[in-house]
Amino acid sequence: MKSILFIDDESKLLRILQSAFEKKGYRVYTAHNGNEASKQISANPIDIIFLDLMLPDTTGLELLQEFLPLYPQKVFILMTAYGDVESAVTAMKAGAFDYIVKPAKMDVIEIAIKRASEWLEMKYENQLLKEKLENTASAYEMVSFSPVMKRILQIVERVANTDATVLLHGESGTGKSMLARIIHNLSARNKEPFVSINCAAIPEQLLESELFGYEKGAFTGANTSRQGKFEAANGGTIFLDEIGDISASLQAKLLQVTQEKTFMRLGSNIPKQVDVRIISATNRDLKKMVEQGTFREDLYYRLNIVDLFIPPLRERRDDIPFFVEQFLEKQRKRYAKRYEISPELMNVLMEYDWPGNVRELENALERAVVLCSGEKLSIDDFPREIKEVKHEPDDQRDYTYDPGRSLPEQLDEIEKRFIQQALAQTNGQAASAARLLGISRQSLLYKMNKYFMT
């Protein structure tokens, strides 16, 4: 229930309003003049404010003009006598949510309250959505066009607000760390730390102290106590990259953290409790490692509550133009230049297999920008292995009728290919691609939904 402030110089009316709406569950405040109203608003969490037009020390319109800039999240409703409707219209133009003509029945006032409450709820939900998008914006560089990645992102959105452990696996450079950050940013933990550690990059003898911390004197050189990554991530998310590379002894200690959320620092016998969400990633086949006895089965199932496989870039080529545009935009801001890429060069990039995946693509584009003599990127600016891609011109592709497949099926495939080419040439801009294809933007969006969103 919302809280309400009624501002009116009629004491009897205020008592009636307060009694009636407190019985309905609202928190009700009253004020006889503008001075009292200012004190009530500053001291109490009020949502909806009813302003009488004529007050002893001011007018409702003047109060509205004073309060609106100070309290933009509140709703103001003007109460006016029948002959002052023109003033009410002026108040609406000034920013009032509604007005009520006095004397008003209780049900009319209640309808206004309900409408104002619904509007406040909608505004609150929109604010939450805006914050959610802002939280995600920095990490949501994995904007995807390919159907397989869209399905993965849909799962991510469902999983994010739970505390389930997530295992991300796929080739190096596919964006597993980016996806882990997206999960964190979409979760209720997004205001808390996101701590990442690459288990393969730290020597085995140091990894335990990095994860769990140590006490003073735990080993030679431990001159002070130090917290580990799990303590640093308390309340938030810890991302364990390359989890398949940890030793058997460390796997046992990690199992305890996943089960009990407790651990002990090196050199200590006192268990510490932490509240962390664990996301892990690997480019190795953990299931096969379990079968071979090199990875604990119980830990595998603890980490693998939600399992997400990130396909390599060669299996989602539709994403390449989007990544190209994103990475180029970074370089444009960095060097204050309008770097562009030709449709022919984009086709070459889409035909290359990218064994290093998204990371290789970003590095290749950064290299091309550095070597580019102007603002138009050339194939000569890219690494040798990309320049050696055998590119088949569009007009030489085989569109011969296949009697083993239906005509509509083959026509759909050709149409889909043309749409991909148009989107590639326009860096994923639907309006420009539609003009290139000679169709309306609505028609293109329908076809994109038909071919790529299912």
Running DSSP on this structure, what letter comes out for residue 59?
B
Work out whether the CA dihedral 307, 308, 312, 317 comes out positive or negative: positive
> What does the angle CA 50 – CA 99 – CA 3 come to, to the nearest 5 degrees?
30
Which position has the higher pLDDT, 103 or 19?
19
The pLDDT of residue 138 is 45
Domain over 315-391 is classified CATH 3.40.50.300? no
Q: How many CA atoms lie within 13 A of 278 on its CB side?
A: 25
The length of the chain is 454
Q: Where are the domains of the chain?
A: 3-129, 147-311, 315-391, 394-454
Q: Which CATH class is domain 147-311?
A: alpha beta
Please report, in angstroms and rounded to a whole number, the separation of the first and last CA atoms in the chain.
Answer: 42
Q: H or E segment at 100? A: strand 98-102
Domains 147-311 and 315-391 share a fold: no
Residue 149 has pLDDT above 90, yes or no: no
Percent of the chain with pLDDT over 70: 89
> What does the angle CA 239 – CA 241 – CA 247 come to, to the nearest 5 degrees?
115
Alpha helices in 294-389 (DSSP H): 297-303, 320-335, 343-351, 357-371, 384-387
- The strand pairing partners of 281, in sequence order, are 168
User: b/e per residue, 76-90, with b = 16+ CB within 10 A?
Assistant: bbbbbeeebeebbee
Q: What is the mean pLDDT of residues 358-375?
A: 92
The pLDDT of residue 395 is 44
The pLDDT of residue 84 is 65
Q: What is the mean pLDDT of residues 336-356?
A: 88
Residue 129 has pLDDT above 60, yes or no: no
Q: Which two three-digit tokens encode residue 6? A: 């009624």
Cα separation, 435 vs 444, whole angstroms: 10
At 372, is the secondary structure helix, strand, or coil?
coil
Other CB atoms within 10 Å distance of the CB of residue 164 = 13
Note the pLDDT tens digit of each residue in 217-235.
888 778 888 899 999 999 9
Q: Which two three-digit tokens encode residue 195? A: 């701590």
433: nearest Cα among 322, 349, 309, 308 = 322
Residue 391 has pLDDT above 60, yes or no: no
Residue 372 has pLDDT above 50, yes or no: yes
Q: What is the DSSP string of 142-167?
A: ----SHHHHHHHHHHHHHHTS---EE
Please say whether the beta carbons of 65 and 45 come within 8 A. no
Please tell me the CATH superfamily of domain 394-454, with its number.
Answer: Homeodomain-like (1.10.10.60)
Cα separation, 30 vs 49, whole angstroms: 10
Stretch among 1-5, 177-181, 329-333, 406-410 having the lowest mean pLDDT:
406-410
Q: What is the mean pLDDT of residues 242-251?
A: 92
Stretch among 242-246, 309-313, 390-394, 437-441 having the lowest mean pLDDT:
390-394
Residue 394 has pLDDT above 50, yes or no: no
Q: Which CATH fold topology does 3-129 show?
A: Rossmann fold (3.40.50)
Residue 397 has pLDDT above 80, yes or no: no
Q: H or E segment at 240? A: strand 237-241
**413-419: long-range contacts at Cβ-Cβ below 8 A with a sequence spacing of 24 or more?**
415/447, 415/451, 416/451, 416/452, 419/444, 419/447, 419/448, 419/451
Note the pLDDT tens digit of each residue in 26-77.
999 999 999 999 999 988 889 999 998 888 988 888 888 888 888 888 899 9
The pLDDT of residue 396 is 43
Work out whether the CA dihedral 408, 409, 412, 417 comes out positive or negative: negative
Note the pLDDT tens digit of each residue in 272-303.
999 999 999 999 999 999 999 999 999 999 99
The pLDDT of residue 140 is 47
The pLDDT of residue 127 is 63
